[in-house]
Each structure stands twice: as structure tokens, then as C-alpha cells.
A and B are shown apart, each in its own frame.
Chain A
Amino acid sequence: MSRSFEETVLPHLDAAFNYARWLTRNDVEAEEVVQDASVRALRFFSNLRGNDARAWLLAIVRNAYYARGPRRIEPFTELPADHEALLADEGLGPEALTLQQETVGHVRDAIEQLPVEFREAVVLRELEGLAYKDIAEVTGVPIGTVMSRLSRARDRLLAILAAATREGVRP
């Protein structure tokens, strides 16, 4: 191992915290998760070898999160019954979405409503910019599953944002 933990892993601490924060939806818990993860990362640093350090660290963050216990299991929330209509052509258009771009809190709420598997796929893809194969590595599922989770997550986001728009909800 020629490069140190400090040089290889610590540059990805923001990514680790961002991921943990979206998993937990809570600042305090996110810090605890990253603390746990850093202990594990130090312990298993020799296993990193030539792998991508960011994906490696994010996988450890995920493990640290789930190791906190089964209370994490979230109920699977059903889409509103009319979601098909919302997704149809006359649903939310690009213009409506563009209008919402200023309402960051609104977008955050929509992402936070997603089931955790969908939420993490969206966060790793859109905020970390990971490729499907890296998301697959971090979350321990096949690439096909990553693709279908992202697809379903986005359908849901469109439905949630469209429903909020129709109700005239504004933060």
C-alpha cells in the first residue's frame, strides 16, 4: 500500500457525509454513521487495493448505516392511485419542472419521500455523478437493478412533484 489513508480516503469525506445525510435524513445520525464508517474504513484499508476509493468508502458508509439496526426498514409507500395519469403526456412538463428549480426545499422533500433504495440511487447518480456500475458496487445489486430503481425513482419524483404543483404547495 503506497498511498496513505489520509491521501486516498479523506478526500471523499464530503461524499461520505452527503450520502449518509440522505440515507438518514438527519445531521446527527449522519455524523455518527460517517464516524462508524471511518473506523471500519481504517480497519479494512488494506482491502482497498486498486479499487475506486470513493465507491469503496460509500459502500462502507452504507454498511455502517444498515449495521445500526433493523429499525431502519422503511414501509414501502404506495404511489397515489392516479400516478399513471400524472406520468402521462399531459402530466408535468419540462416548463413546470423548470419553475420549481428555485424551490430547493421542495425538491429535497420529494427526494426524502422516496424509499431508501430509490433515494440512494438518485443521490449517488445525480449528486455524486456515479456511473451505474459504481452505484451497483456501492449498493451491492446488479446494474439492471440500479437502472430499474433509478427509473422507478424518477417516475415517483415526477409524480410527487406534479402532485405538489397541482395542490399549489409552495414552501
Chain B
Amino acid sequence: MTCVDAIRLVDAYVDDELDSAERSRFRTHVATCAQCGRAVDRRIALQGTVRGAPYYAAPDRLRSAVLARTRTSGRPRRFALAAAAIVVLAIGTGTAIRMVQMRAATEAIAASVVADQIRALQSSRVIDVQSSDRHTVKPWFLGKIDFAPPVDDLSAAGFPLAGGRLATIDGRTVAVLVYQRRLHPIAVFIWPEADARARAADVQAVRGFNVRHWTANGMSFWAVTDANAADLETLERSIRQAAPR
């Protein structure tokens, strides 16, 4: 093992993340190399120092608040029963309640897709497969999700494809296509929708992001961007036009 290898592995060594073969090669090197030995010592000393940093335990009032919420909302089974009861009630009492519920569900999904996009932007992992070629992006999703999202070349309409990634929305893994609109990425979250009756597009603004939702060809589309809402409308039209009829 060279010094370069040893320095590369020093963190994994002090964190006990090397397998036994690597660990013994590492030790052999360090035993004969004073400089790498000192690097290990410095890392271990630093660990000791950092472990002396404050550990912030949850304040009692926070613990009580969370406990109270746990008890009022009950266990999952009761919660599911309650939710089922609400659905039955809504069906029984008519469209108004159902629409309120659908609105709440729509807002919850919009919040989830925006949160995912923020997270992706923050972690610089907006795309996992980077390609402007739909023939590269489309197969990337195969085997990762149980449906084939429509991947269209919209560059003529001013939306070059930047790539794709996966996201988890409301417990299911969905496809995300990222198109570029000038300097702004537009993420389009796509998943199959059982109830894909054509509906007017739903437009929301969530935490400074514009969100546009529509359904087409059995798929639910949620487009999210920090660019303006009109771009999303153009994008929806382009995707609809690109779709097979």
C-alpha cells in the first residue's frame, strides 16, 4: 500500500469501515511509515475532540408535544379506519366534501414534489442520469420502476432534456424528468394514475415554486419549477402534443 492509498483510507480506517484484508494492509503500511502514522493519530485525536461537542437532547416540552400528537392520532390501524370512515362519509354526503378532500390530497402531493425538488437542488442531485438523449434516459428507468414514463424530445419547443432521476412521493417510487428552460430546471414527476380522466390543469405556488398538475394517457404529471408559471403551461402543451394519440 502506498501513502496515497493510505491517506485515502485513513477515515474509513478510524471509522472501522475497512474490511479485514484492507485493514491489515493499512496497518502494515502505517507501522512502517511515520508520516501516515501521524495522520492516523491526528484523525483519532480529532475524533476525540469532536465527540466532546454538545449533544442536544430533546427538550421535555418537545417530547410531551410529540407524545400528545402520537396519542391523539392513534396507531396506524385506527388512523386507517378513521380515514376509511371519512371516505365513506364523503361518498355519502356528496361532492362538496369529496372535492375538499381531493384538494387536500392535491396540495399534499404538490408539497411533496416541491420538497423533493428542493432536496434535489440542495444536494446537487437534480439528475441521476444526465443526458439530453431520450433514448438514453428512457431505458435508464427500466428495472427501477414498474412503468415506462413518456420521455419526449421537447428541445424544439425550448425545453431541452437534461436528464432524469427517481423520487419517492407518498410512498411510491416515481420517475422525474428534468427539462431545462433557459437557466431554470423544470422537474416533471410522472407516475401511473388509475383515475386519469382528463381534468383541467391544476396550478399551485408552493414555497416560491410553481407547480402544475395534469393527467394524460393514464399518467399523472406534476411539473415543478422556480421559473414562471407560463413556462409550465407551454411545457404541458408540448408534452401533450408529443404524446401518441
Of B55, B58, B71, most A-chain CB atoms within 10 Å: B58
**Given known A-B contacts A147-B12, A158-B42, A104 and B54 have beta carbons under 8 A apart:** yes
Whether a CB of chain B sits under 8 angstroms from the CB of A111 is yes
Chain A min CB distance to B227 (Å)? 14
Cα distance A154–B47 in the bound complex, in angstroms: 9
Contact status A107-B50, CB under 8 Å: yes
Contact status A107-B49, CB under 8 Å: yes
Choice from A17, A69, A150 contacting B59 with Cβ under 8 Å:
A17
Closest to B50 in A: A126
Cα distance A144–B183 in the bound complex, in angstroms: 30
Chain B min CB distance to A145 (Å)? 9
Contact status B45-A98, CB under 8 Å: yes
Contact status B11-A154, CB under 8 Å: yes
- Interface 1/0s, chain B 1-38, versus A by CB < 8 A? 00000000011100101000000000000000001001
Cα distance A82–B122 in the bound complex, in angstroms: 29
Closest to B75 in A: A4
Whether a CB of chain B sits under 8 angstroms from the CB of A6 is yes
**Given known A-B contacts A42-B70, A44-B171, A70-B121, A111 and B53 have beta carbons under 8 A apart:** yes
Chain A interface size range: 35 or more
Which residues of the other chain, B, contact A16 by a CB distance below 8 angstroms? 58
**Given known A-B contacts A70-B118, A73-B122, A154-B43, A18 and B69 have beta carbons under 8 A apart:** no
* Majority secondary structure, A binding face: helix
Whether a CB of chain A sits under 8 angstroms from the CB of B143 is no
Whether a CB of chain A sits under 8 angstroms from the CB of B111 is yes
Contact status B121-A14, CB under 8 Å: no
- Interface 1/0s, chain B 48-73, versus A by CB < 8 A? 11111111111100110111011101
**Given known A-B contacts A17-B56, A18-B56, A157-B50, A67 and B42 have beta carbons under 8 A apart:** no
Contact status B70-A6, CB under 8 Å: yes
Whether a CB of chain A sits under 8 angstroms from the CB of B76 is yes
Choice from B15, B44, B111, B171 contacting A132 with Cβ under 8 Å:
B15
Whether a CB of chain B sits under 8 angstroms from the CB of A79 is no
Whether a CB of chain B sits under 8 angstroms from the CB of A34 is yes
Which residues of the other chain, A, contact B207 by a CB distance below 8 angstroms? 67, 69-70
Whether a CB of chain B sits under 8 angstroms from the CB of A113 is no
| 8 tightest Cβ-Cβ pairs between the two chains A and B | A17-B58, A94-B45, A21-B56, A67-B115, A97-B45, A38-B66, A13-B58, A151-B11
Chain B contacts to A: CB under 8 angstroms: 10-12, 15, 17, 35, 38, 41-59, 62-63, 65-67, 69-71, 73, 75-77, 79, 111, 114-115, 118-119, 121-123, 125, 171, 207-208, 226
Chain A contacts to B: CB under 8 angstroms: 1, 4-6, 10, 13-14, 16-18, 21-22, 27, 30-31, 34-35, 38-39, 42, 44-47, 63, 66-67, 69-70, 72-73, 89, 92-94, 97-98, 100-101, 104, 107-108, 111, 117, 122, 125-127, 131-132, 139-141, 147, 150-151, 154, 157-158, 161
Q: Given known contacts A13-B66, A42-B69, A42-B73, what 17 new A-B pairs fall within 8 Å (CB)?
A: A10-B67, A30-B56, A31-B62, A63-B119, A70-B226, A73-B122, A89-B35, A97-B46, A104-B54, A107-B52, A126-B50, A126-B51, A127-B50, A150-B11, A150-B15, A158-B42, A161-B49
- What are 10 A-B pairs at a CB distance below 8 A? A13-B62, A69-B118, A70-B122, A89-B38, A101-B48, A108-B53, A117-B123, A154-B11, A158-B42, A161-B46
